[in-house]
Amino acid sequence: MKQTLAMLCVLVASLTGNAQDKNFDLSKYKFPDYKRHEMELNFNSNGYNRNNSWNELSNDENATTKKSGWADSNSRSNLGLRYSFESVTRKSIDRLFSSISGEYTYSMQDNYRQREKNIKPGAFWSFGGSKDYYLTEGKFFLEGSSNVGLSFTGTKKTIDEMVDLKNSQNSFNISIGLGAGFGRKEKVSDLWQAYYILESLKKQQSMVRELNEDDIFEFARHTSKLKNKRFFDFRLRKIAELQSLDSILHKQGLIRDSDISYFTTLNDYWNFVEFPDRESGKVLKFWVSPEYWTSKYKSLNSNVINSNTIYFKSNMSFECNKQLNLFWERIVKLEVTNVTLVDQSGNYNNNYPKNQFKSALDLGYGFYPNTRSSLQTSLRYSLHEEPTNQLPGFQSKFWRNEIHLGFNGGYYISPQLQLYGNFSLSHSFEEYYNGDHKSLNYNLGLRYAIF
């Protein structure tokens, strides 16, 4: 395990350096102070198909092994409403979010002995927030966070088309985190949009002089401030924004003639685009978080089982977002977590491990070919411990390796409506059960921005 972690650290170090766009130095760009509110309505459909196999001892006198396993598929539809607030200054970063959603899940499992079908409706609510306070600008910071969640689910299970079982489960969880770290990631989505506008005007020869780095940064900060202004009338907002953009371009001495070609390009790259969140910078963070989780399970025969668990999580993470140029970015993440079981009561295995170690390395690239579409791809390797669910006296946990390949995409439909989706393949393996697990996942949805 130590050799694996050492190799991960070397790989991270080799990937977090090197090139960025030669037109300007992103390390000089500081995102202006701002406050943003967003509310989105999301609908999506997702699912997966998995095949799992392992060797197990047979019941014959020779104690031979035989191949066993199961296959399952899952389809889920979800409708949710999400609100988020973010306030950014050079001294602090505040985030607040709340979401409520409902979903309907249909799944089927075949374990080579019986076939099982499940129908599972559910409702979920969550609320959380965090604050990063910088003791030195852009370097050392302290962080506090909290999260609360509620869920209500019901399940109807059919076994071999004959036996129907019904149950319900309600759960509640709360966590509080404290941490410290080094570094800062600057938001650069508005910078890239500003760069797109200026480069497009330059290509069509609407500019009267060459661009420099200060021109790009000044125009980008102006666009960010524009997006933070609140308007009750959408039409008046767009008029005011275009007038303000035209004014700053003339003030910078970049534009002399405001002809129809200039205005149509300015309007197109300002009002009819979708720029996903892009960031530039590095952050190393350490945090600890106690977490309380409780659930109430009720079966068809009215048996009620109450379960309570207290965890203590400790985590170290490193993230590096590097903008290679206007069209490409590279993302590297390394995370190491230890989950300590403090206390539990209810329907639990007494041999549950006291500590579980988890680690993951992500390498991803983002591709933004134009102002209306985006594609991200990521490769993840994770090494983590899992409980064996065996009785006391047996081994309580084992190591699992997993490789995950994912693709995410988005497409702009209108100023409020975007199409998004992702597709992933994963393969995991472990030696305890000699298991081999393969999974295929998909997610397709629509996002509507209310404000």
Compute the residue count for the chain: 451
Half-sphere exposure of 93 (CA within 13 A, CB side): 17
Q: Which residue did the predictor score with more confidence, 392 or 233? A: 233
The kind and range of the H/E element at 55 are: strand 34-57
Domain extent, residue 165, equals: 2-188+278-449
Q: Are residues 241 and 349 in the same domain?
A: no
The domain total for the chain is 2
By DSSP bridging, strand 279-299 and strand 34-57 are: unpaired
Q: Are residues 174 and 89 in the same domain?
A: yes
pLDDT, one tens digit per residue, over 166-186 is 889 999 999 999 999 999 999
The DSSP letter of residue 64 is -
CA-closest candidate to residue 221, choices 30, 351, 417: 30
Q: Are residues 287 and 321 in the same domain?
A: yes
pLDDT of residue 350: 60
Q: Tell me how far apart the alpha carbons of residues 175 and 289 are, in angstroms, rounded to a whole number.
A: 7
Look at residue 266 and give its three-state secondary structure.
helix
User: CATH number of the domain that 22 lies in?
Assistant: 2.40.160
Q: Are residues 257 and 290 in the same domain?
A: no
pLDDT, one tens digit per residue, over 29-82 is 888 888 888 888 999 888 888 777 666 656 655 556 666 667 788 888 999 999
Half-sphere exposure of 213 (CA within 13 A, CB side): 10
Q: What is the mean pLDDT of residues 70-97?
A: 91
Q: Are residues 263 and 327 in the same domain?
A: no
Q: Are residues 62 and 121 in the same domain?
A: yes
Look at residue 201 and give its three-state secondary structure.
helix
Domain boundary among 227, 252, 271: 271
Assigned token pair, 57: 């001892």
**pTM, to two decimals:** 0.80
Q: Are residues 144 and 178 in the same domain?
A: yes
The DSSP letter of residue 26 is G
Q: What is the mean pLDDT of residues 7-36?
A: 63
Q: How far is CA 385 from the centre of its chain?
A: 22
Q: Are residues 214 and 101 in the same domain?
A: no
Q: Are residues 116 and 148 in the same domain?
A: yes
pLDDT, one tens digit per residue, over 184-221 is 999 888 898 999 999 999 999 999 999 898 999 999 99
Q: Are residues 372 and 233 in the same domain?
A: no
The kind and range of the H/E element at 260 are: helix 260-271
Q: Tell me how far apart the alpha carbons of residues 310 and 174 are, in angstroms, rounded to a whole number.
A: 10
Domain boundary among 244, 271, 298: 271
pLDDT, one tens digit per residue, over 125-157 is 999 999 999 999 878 999 999 999 999 999 888
pLDDT, one tens digit per residue, over 401-427 is 999 999 999 998 887 888 999 999 999
Measure the CA dihedral 407/413/415/419, to 10°: -30
Domain boundary among 241, 271, 301: 271
CA-closest candidate to residue 171, choices 146, 148, 147, 152: 152
Half-sphere exposure of 40 (CA within 13 A, CB side): 18
Q: Are residues 184 and 194 in the same domain?
A: no
Q: Are residues 22 and 68 in the same domain?
A: yes
Assigned token pair, 265: 């390009």
The DSSP result for 224-247, as a single string, is HHHHT---S-HHHHHHHHHHHHHH
Cβ-contact 366, 375 below 8 angstroms: yes
